[in-house]
A and B are shown apart, each in its own frame.
Chain A
Amino acid sequence: MPNFQKYDIAKSQLETAVDLFFRGLSYHSVITLAGAASGILSGLVRAAGKETFVDYARRVHEGMRGHMPKRDSYAHHIEKILGISAHKHLSEKDTDTVELDLEHLAADALARAIADYVTLYGQHEPFVSAYLRWAWVKKDGPRMMELYEAVPENMRPKSE
């Protein structure tokens, strides 16, 4: 039977998500695909002994709030904030509707997945560099870098 590497599966899902995002076809699907890719990529980053997006976020939380949240609960928290949970779960007690800023959430869900992808494989794939260039323009890259320069060394990503 044919075998597939999870790395390739995550890459395919993320590439599809970026394609749907730039063509504005389905931000709902972008959120779900980026979430699924992150589920694999974060595991691969940890297995490689590197710092995941979620672990970096936990470290920032510790620096700002004084305590390190548990990995699973913080990952769940991030998935909820990014709208990923709303797109793949529904319980009996959930509300009938949900309020979302879809384009904004889709861009952020991609940012999380791309961060882990870049930690593992760099920025060379066209879909990765396309997203990063878009983010540089849309999120005011020069201003972001100014702000980043003011971030203390111990609050920066370890993958730097």
Chain B
Amino acid sequence: MTTKTYTRLELAADQLHAAVCLFITGRDRFSVITLAGAADVILSRLVLNSGQENFTDSIAQMEVEKGGRERPRAEVGKALNDMLLINEIKHFDPGDDGIVTVSDLDECAFAAILKGMANYVTLAGRKEDWVAAFFLWVKENMDPNKYNVNFDPEWESSAQDEQA
């Protein structure tokens, strides 16, 4: 028996770290989503507790700036989690057909990590090796037309332009 004291940030960071490792080594995407999603629940609250806006708040604000209606944080958060399958892959409720449909599982897992990572960086920065390694991996391996690999705040996806 080895009981130790852990901060909430440690609980979240360890899970996000594991999600990143599983993702970049091509392991199970559902596990990546579950771990990044669990970490993000903790991180989102810790960001709010620190008096800052969390990632969900940023998305809600972005929607308003683009002419959308103002929505409560909980509603936006649920919509994001539903889109990323975070809730669907940890429940089987009565009447459930037992099938999960997703257009791009890799993209879902990557987005789940990015959501958690945005909140983690707000709290702890990029000083940890595994965080720096993740951002470097993204820059080296992800499509720069589709993803903001340099994390430029002015960046816009050319892939979206092509689809429009």
Is residue B90 contacting chain A, with contact meaning CB distance below 8 A?
A: yes
What residues of A have a CB within 8 angstroms of the CB of B42 in the complex? Answer: 87-90
Contact between chains at B45 and A92 (CB < 8 Å): yes
What residues of B have a CB within 8 angstroms of the CB of A89 in the complex? Answer: 41-42
Is residue A148 contacting chain B, with contact meaning CB distance below 8 A?
A: no
B18-56 residues at the A interface, CB under 8 angstroms: 18-19, 21-22, 27-28, 30-31, 34-35, 37-38, 41-42, 45-46, 48-49
The distance in angstroms between the C-alpha atoms of A89 and B90, with both chains bound, is 14
The distance in angstroms between the C-alpha atoms of A148 and B74, with both chains bound, is 47
* A59, chain B: closest CB distance, angstroms: 20
Specify the main secondary structure of chain A where it touches its partner.
helix
Contact between chains at B8 and A97 (CB < 8 Å): yes
Known: A26-B15, A36-B90. A4 touches B31 (CB 8 A): no
Specify the main secondary structure of chain B where it touches its partner.
helix
Known: A6-B100, A43-B96, A44-B98. A98 touches B28 (CB 8 A): no
Contact between chains at A32 and B15 (CB < 8 Å): yes
Contact between chains at B45 and A90 (CB < 8 Å): yes
Contact between chains at B41 and A90 (CB < 8 Å): yes
Chain-A contact segment, one of B61-69, B101-109, B142-150, B154-162: B101-109
Is residue B133 contacting chain A, with contact meaning CB distance below 8 A?
A: no
- Contact code string B84-98 (vs A, CB < 8 Å = 1, else 0): 000001111110101
Count residues of chain A with CB under 8 A from any CB of chain B: 47
Contact between chains at A29 and B100 (CB < 8 Å): no
Known: A13-B34, A16-B28. A28 touches B49 (CB 8 A): no
- Candidates B22, B27, B31, B99; contact of A6 at CB < 8 Å: B99
Interface set of B (CB-CB < 8 Å, partner A)? 1-8, 11, 14-15, 17-19, 21-22, 27-28, 30-31, 34-35, 37-38, 41-42, 45-46, 48-49, 89-94, 96, 98-103, 105
The 29 listed contacts between A and B (C-beta, < 8 Å) are A4-B99, A4-B101, A4-B105, A6-B98, A16-B22, A16-B27, A16-B28, A26-B15, A26-B18, A28-B14, A29-B18, A32-B34, A36-B90, A39-B90, A39-B91, A40-B90, A40-B91, A43-B91, A43-B93, A47-B96, A87-B11, A87-B15, A88-B41, A90-B42, A92-B45, A96-B8, A98-B5, A99-B6, A104-B1
Interface set of A (CB-CB < 8 Å, partner B)? 1-7, 9, 12-13, 15-17, 20, 25-26, 28-29, 32-33, 35-36, 39-44, 46-47, 86-92, 94, 96-104
